[in-house]
Structure 1
Amino acid sequence: MNRADATFREAAAEPRLESERFSHVSVELGHIYMEDFAAGAERLRTMLSGVARWVEVASQTDAAKPRVSTSFMIDDYFSLYSTPAKVLPMLLDVAHDCGLSIDYLARESACAVFDGVPLAELVEARLIPVPPVGTNGSRPLATEIGWLSNGERTPADSEAMRRSAWKPPVEIGARNHSVFVDVELWSKVKDGKRKWSCAFLAAVWQLMRLGLIRDQGRAVVHPRPWDGDFPAAWDELPAITQLNPRAKPFAAYRTFSVLPSRFLQVELAVRTILSQVAMDPALLDHIINRATGEDMRIPAELIDRVGYVFLTE
């Protein structure tokens, strides 16, 4: 085999970057746990009554004709309640009464594994924790211990520490004072498998909505349409269900989430995680170039593409 043949085969073996359709903005209308459903329609109405006005705010973009899609997340990962056939009609009725149209309904378990593809593991593999200044890399990797921080932790207690001054944790890049965050990514359960944390799954969810998760260059997050009655079991529902046949694309150049204030702490952890995820540079350039071609300006930093409003309950 000559050099030309070798070059051709190596290039052909590189993963092909699959393109996706994009909206300008993906608006998350809510994130509900099963206990919220258990509390009934009035509980849902309280949560959704103030959301509609923020959809209009989030829809304001540089684009002349903004493409906006809406989504709603339901937790079926940490707990289960009733069946989709019983609770989803209630959710959709309440949403309609509150002036909301849900284009896509997502199950939180899909952020761990989407149609057989381990999304959480794909994202974890791209974590590159920022090393604190002056360290020698001896601290265990986040993928080994399941914890990710935005700085230098307080040294572990030891006899030597008891004889010296206590040292506080320090945020990397702190302005005047530190805001130190230590995020649990996963815990281990009895069978040795990982139980992904809410914060990590929420970080995966943001990357899904930004169209940034690929498996060997292949787009893997594909909503599926649903028509008719909902099923009797949550795992019979698609990972992401497209409820509106005329919905704009699920992935978007920017995301905007309207959430109860109880999610503030979780989303701080999400931003800590996203700030230490290294996505494929070719994919990042591809998306920025497409956005620029549509007169849509998006920041280079991932966390700057993510917007929020937190509402009191």
Structure 2
Amino acid sequence: MTEDAFRETAAEPRTQSVALGHLSLELGHLYMEDFEAGPQRLRAHFAEVGPWVEAARAAATARAGGKRPRISTCFLIDDYFTRFATPAEVVPMLLAEAEAAGLTVDYLARESGCAVTGKVQVAEAVAGRIVESPPPGSYGARPPAAQTGWLANGERSPVARAPQAMKRATAWQPPKETAGRQHSVFLDVELWSQDAEGHRLWSCPFLAAVWQLARLGLLRQEGEDVLVPHPHTAAGFPDDWDELPTLLRLTEDAGPFAAYRTWSVLPNRFLPVEHAVRVILDQIEVDPGALGQAAARAKGERMPLPDSVADRVSYVFYAGP
């Protein structure tokens, strides 16, 4: 027996497999002010969402070759930046307005879970997988995103410096998008801020990128699935947000939470946030085991799946009130 013939099972890298649907359809991601505006605001939102849900289902059916696609719906509540009311007050109102619009919310998620779930520092783990794409000709003068908390999709304008003896002052130069076509759309994204004690407050775009990775079935921590759906078995909802599971399955026969592709219907104020999400997703080294599992299954189902994670994400933005 050669040395190569024996390897401990515990030493084998393992990536937990998760169920994958064809489409994860997000019915909304609203903030405190939307809920404070009352049922009429939710009613107006779901009225805008309804027609696009049908369009998303039709697109998923076409990609599935006419077969019935596996589609689940989800809704994300922001309980990270502001705690408001209680789940016992907010969730029944949300579900009632969705039902009145003919929509079903299969999964309910809390945005704070994209930062920390249980003992897992989810956002910090994803931040550790950022691999910046250096623009051509750059010399590393800018500190990395891991230090600054800023991530760009190209080359920033150089910092102007005062002239030294026998040298000219640095001339201004415009920023440049790495993958720009003819002209640049440069974006510099803040991933987090820090308080006086050094605690990080994760930005909305970064948490939204974590949310997309979870919906695509690509979020792992040491090979294990992170956002695991918990079935809702209680008669009602708790009075404290921390007592509500990070990801709650509300529909007993719901399809898989994660899917090959995602589709989100959002007010157009989210457009700059989701632009930033694409910049972040393009520079995250996603767990290779999770990527391989999704690619193999999509191939087995003859489902077209883009190599780029960001290209697996689709949106509809509507003009909000």
For normalisation by structure 1, the TM-score amounts to 0.95
Q: Map of 1:24-103 to 2, 5 A cutoff?
A: 24-59=22-57, 60-61=59-60, 62-63=63-64, 64-103=67-106
Q: Map of 1:137-152 to 2, 5 A cutoff?
A: 137-152=140-155
Q: Tell me how far apart the structure 1 counterparts of residues 163 and 157 of structure 2 sit (CA, whole Å).
A: 14
Alpha-carbon contact 1:15-1:216 (below 8 Å) kept: no
Q: Map of 1:1-313 to 2, 5 A cutoff?
A: 3-4=3-4, 8-9=7-8, 12-59=10-57, 60-61=59-60, 62-63=63-64, 64-160=67-163, 163-227=169-233, 228-313=235-320
Q: Tell me how far apart the structure 1 counterparts of residues 171 and 148 of structure 2 sit (CA, whole Å).
A: 27
Alpha-carbon contact 1:83-1:233 (below 8 Å) kept: yes
Q: Tell me how far apart the structure 1 counterparts of residues 209 and 237 of structure 2 sit (CA, whole Å).
A: 28
Structure 2: any 5+ residue segments left out of the alignment?
Answer: none
Amino acid corresponding to residue 24 of structure 1 in structure 2:
H
Per-residue deviation at 1:174? 1.3
Per-residue deviation at 1:295? 2.1
Q: Tell me how far apart the structure 1 counterparts of residues 261 and 319 of structure 2 sit (CA, whole Å).
A: 24
Amino acid corresponding to residue 131 of structure 1 in structure 2:
P
Amino acid corresponding to residue 172 of structure 2 in structure 1:
W
Q: Tell me how far apart the structure 1 counterparts of residues 316 and 217 of structure 2 sit (CA, whole Å).
A: 21
Q: Tell me how far apart the structure 2 counterparts of residues 55 and 154 of structure 1 sit (CA, whole Å).
A: 42
Deviations 1:198-232 (A, max 9, x none): 00000000000001011121112201011311100
Amino acid corresponding to residue 318 of structure 2 in structure 1:
L
Deviations 1:148-185 (A, max 9, x none): 00011111132139834311111102111111000000
- Percent identity at matched positions? 53
Q: Tell me how far apart the structure 2 counterparts of residues 196 and 48 of structure 1 sit (CA, whole Å).
A: 28
Aligned pairs, number: 311
Q: Tell me how far apart the structure 2 counterparts of residues 178 and 213 of structure 1 sit (CA, whole Å).
A: 31
User: What's the C-alpha RMSD, in Å, of the aligned pairs?
Assistant: 1.7
Per-residue deviation at 1:4? 4.4
Q: SS of the counterpart of 1:70?
A: strand
Q: SS of the counterpart of 1:248?
A: coil
Q: Tell me how far apart the structure 1 counterparts of residues 211 and 289 of structure 2 sit (CA, whole Å).
A: 21
Q: Tell me how far apart the structure 1 counterparts of residues 89 and 289 of structure 2 sit (CA, whole Å).
A: 44
Q: SS of the counterpart of 1:44?
A: helix
Amino acid corresponding to residue 80 of structure 1 in structure 2:
R
For normalisation by structure 2, the TM-score amounts to 0.93
Q: Tell me how far apart the structure 2 counterparts of residues 175 and 128 of structure 1 sit (CA, whole Å).
A: 23
Deviations 1:11-37 (A, max 9, x none): 641321211111110000000111111
Q: Tell me how far apart the structure 2 counterparts of residues 172 and 221 of structure 1 sit (CA, whole Å).
A: 33
Q: SS of the counterpart of 1:8?
A: coil
Q: Tell me how far apart the structure 1 counterparts of residues 39 and 106 of structure 2 sit (CA, whole Å).
A: 20
The 3 A distance-change label for structure 1 pair 164 and 139 is closer
Q: Tell me how far apart the structure 2 counterparts of residues 148 and 248 of structure 1 sit (CA, whole Å).
A: 35
Q: SS of the counterpart of 1:160?
A: coil
Moved over 6 A (4+): none
Amino acid corresponding to residue 308 of structure 2 in structure 1:
E
